[in-house]
Amino acid sequence: EGMATPRKAGIPLGVMKVLDPRQLKPDSMETERILTVLDETIVKLEITRLIPQITGSLERYARMLGPEITSSLLEHQKLSMEIQHLLTSPGDEKSMRALEQRLKCSLRNILRLFLANPLLYHGLKYEVRVRQSPADVFVKAFMEFRDFTLERLLTTPDEEKEKIQLMKDISLQVEKNTETISALRGELAGVIQTRDKEVSRKDKTIENLKTNMEDLAENCKADIRLIMKEGEKQKKEDEEASQDRCARLKQDIQHLGTQFNALVLEHRASELVLRKEKCKAEKEIQKWVQKYDTDMTEKQTTYEEVQTVYNEEKEQLSLLMEKHAMLLQEYTQIEEERRMLKEKEEEAAREEARRNDAATCIQAFWKGYLVRSIYKSKLKKGKGKGKGK
């Protein structure tokens, strides 16, 4: 009995959101029978998977198995070895088919014995260590098929349509949000690319200014050395001109330095603006992501509320249907009583009519009888008078 009881199915996460696991009970005998057959098949597959390991260490498990199961396993092992021998050497196909039939019967007998003793199967399940094999994949796939069958049996067509429509709506919303995020990322990439180009252009300008300043300083030094080589003769004459020239060069250097500092400040200001724009774009993206999460949470909450209201209304509908059935039964009973009462009244009316008709007939007969009696008496008197004369 414990072997045939349907186990709880491992329902996927998407279905767990729609169906309460505590309500996953077969709602009809047909569903329960289907699940019972599938669960028994899974148990048989698991027992079949354990048989090779048990027969390989039969002496170890013989005491636990008992003489009947042990002898059946020995017979099964013997048949398996005979089939393997026939497979390795050519033989009669008829003998092969007969041996295969015997092996199938032996396996059915072993499964019957194990199913009759579920405690033994559960003990061996945790005692025997089974290696990974292709049979495990088949058992797992069959379990998934069982869970899928349970899900389909418990899901009504209306719920299936609602789930499909909900998934379509969510997919459309995700696509819209993805398109919005992609567009914002594209705009952000364009802004970053423009900023990088502007920064690169200004870096080149700064490098050119540095090169010009270095060239200008070298030219100044060369001119100074040339002036010093001209000799002391022209030193006094050219001292003022040289000082003026040096002053102009210093002013030029200061002016170029001022321009350089202004360009650096401008570059930093532009970089700050671009950083602010980037930060703003990132905040906008974060805002859209949070809005998407909030919308999804609200929709999930709304769905759960709608599901709760649906369950409550379903329970109320069940109560109303029960009351309706009771009232309908009472109404049918009252109608039957009315019909019987009406039939009794009609029967009484017919009986009364028969009595009236009978009374009328009796009165008419009695009146006729009286008339005839009077008439006869008059006739007798008339005859008597005639004889007397």
**Based on the domain organization, do 31 and 104 belong to the same domain?**
yes
The answer to whether residues 125 and 224 belong to one domain is: no
pTM of the predicted model as reported, rounded to 2 decimal places: 0.35
**186 and 131 co-located in one domain:** no
- Measured distance CA(121)–CA(135) in Å, rounded: 18
Determine the pLDDT at residue 189: 87
CA distances from 133 to 52, 107, 138 (A): 12, 19, 9
Select from 143, 132, 119 the least CA-distant residue to 49. Answer: 132
Residue 329 lies in a domain: no
46 with 143, same domain: the answer is yes
Gap between the Cα atoms of 158 and 314, Å rounded: 14
pLDDT for 191: 85
Question: Would you state the pLDDT for residue 6?
Answer: 36
Same domain for 109 and 59, yes or no, is yes
Q: Is residue 332 part of a domain?
A: no
Residues 194 and 150 in one domain: no
Considering the domain architecture, whether residues 136 and 30 belong to the same structural domain is answered as: yes
What is the structure's pLDDT at 384?
A: 61
143 and 199 fall within a common domain: no
The verdict on 144 and 225 lying in the same domain is no
Q: Give a yes or no: residue 163 inside a domain.
A: no
Single residue among 155, 178, 207 that ends a domain in this structure: 155
What pLDDT is recorded for position 160? 67
182, 130: one domain: no
Question: For position 246, which CATH number holds?
Answer: 1.10.287
- With respect to residue 180, please indicate whether it lies within any of the assigned structural domains: yes
Domain coverage including residue 264: 170-302
Q: Are 14 and 1 in contact (CB under 8 A)?
A: no
Asked whether residue 327 is domain-assigned, the answer is: no
Q: What total of structural domains would you count in the chain? A: 2
Scanning the structure block, which residue is given the tokens 């013997």?
78
Q: What is the mean pLDDT of each run of 10 residues along the chain (389 residues)?
A: 36 38 54 86 82 77 81 84 78 78 85 82 71 75 85 73 78 84 85 86 86 81 74 71 82 88 86 89 91 90 92 92 92 92 92 91 89 82 59
Same domain, 151 and 174: no
- Statement to judge: residues 132 and 224 lie in one domain: no
